[in-house]
Amino acid sequence: MPILRTLLFVSIMTVMLCGLHYYVYLRVVRGLSLGPTEQRIARAVLLSLFALLWLSFPLSRSVPRNLASPFLWVSYIWLGVLALSAVVFAMVDLARLLGGVLSPALPIDDSRRAWLGRMLDVVALGGAATLSGCAVAIGLRKVTVKRIEVELTKLPQELAGFRIVQLTDVHIGPTLDGRWLREIVDRVNTLAADAVVITGDLVDGSVAQLGSHVAPLAELRARHGVFFVTGNHEYYSGVDSWLAELQRLGVKVLRNERVTLRPHPLAGEGASELGIDLVGIDDFHAGSFPGHGPDLPRALLGRDPQRPAVLLAHQPAAIIEAAQLGIDLQLSGHTHAGQLWPWGYFVRLQQPYVYGLHRHGDAQIYVSAGTGYWGPPMRLASESEITEVILKPKRT
For residues 123 and 185, membership in a common domain is answered with: no
Domain boundary among 139, 154, 177: 139
Tally Cβ neighbours within 10 Å of residue 57: 15
For residues 130 and 255, membership in a common domain is answered with: no
For residues 189 and 294, membership in a common domain is answered with: yes
Residue count of the chain, please give it: 396
The overall pTM is greater than 0.85: yes
SS3 content of the chain, % helix, strand, coil (to 5): 50, 15, 35
For residues 155 and 105, membership in a common domain is answered with: no
For residues 119 and 174, membership in a common domain is answered with: no
CB-based contacts of 71-75 (< 8 A; 24+ apart in sequence): 72/174, 72/175, 73/174, 73/175, 73/377, 74/49, 75/49
Domain boundary among 91, 111, 139: 139
- Among candidate residues 345, 348, 350, 351, the one with its CA nearest the CA of residue 380: 345
Q: Output the pLDDT for position 187.
A: 97
Instruction: Give 264's DSSP letter.
Output: S
For residues 153 and 124, membership in a common domain is answered with: no
Are the C-beta atoms of 237 and 62 separated by less than 8 Å?
Answer: no
> How confident is the prediction along the chain (396 residues), in pLDDT tens digits per residue?
456 766 777 788 888 889 899 998 888 888 778 888 999 999 999 999 999 888 887 877 778 888 888 999 999 999 999 999 999 998 888 887 877 666 665 666 666 666 777 788 888 888 899 999 999 999 999 999 999 999 999 999 989 999 999 999 999 999 999 999 999 999 999 999 999 999 999 999 899 999 999 999 999 999 999 999 999 999 988 899 999 999 999 999 999 999 999 886 444 444 446 899 999 999 999 988 888 999 999 999 999 999 999 999 999 999 999 999 999 999 999 999 999 988 888 888 889 999 999 999 999 999 999 999 999 999 998 999 999 999 999 876
For residues 106 and 248, membership in a common domain is answered with: no
- The total of structural domains in the chain comes to 2
- State the number of CA atoms in the 13 A half-sphere of 303 facing the CB: 24
- Among candidate residues 2, 60, 7, 4, the one with its CA nearest the CA of residue 289: 2
- State the number of CA atoms in the 13 A half-sphere of 287 facing the CB: 5
The domain that holds 236 is classified in CATH as 3.60.21.10
Structural domain for 323, as ranges: 144-393
For residues 36 and 157, membership in a common domain is answered with: no
For residues 238 and 287, membership in a common domain is answered with: yes
Domain boundary among 139, 170, 197: 139
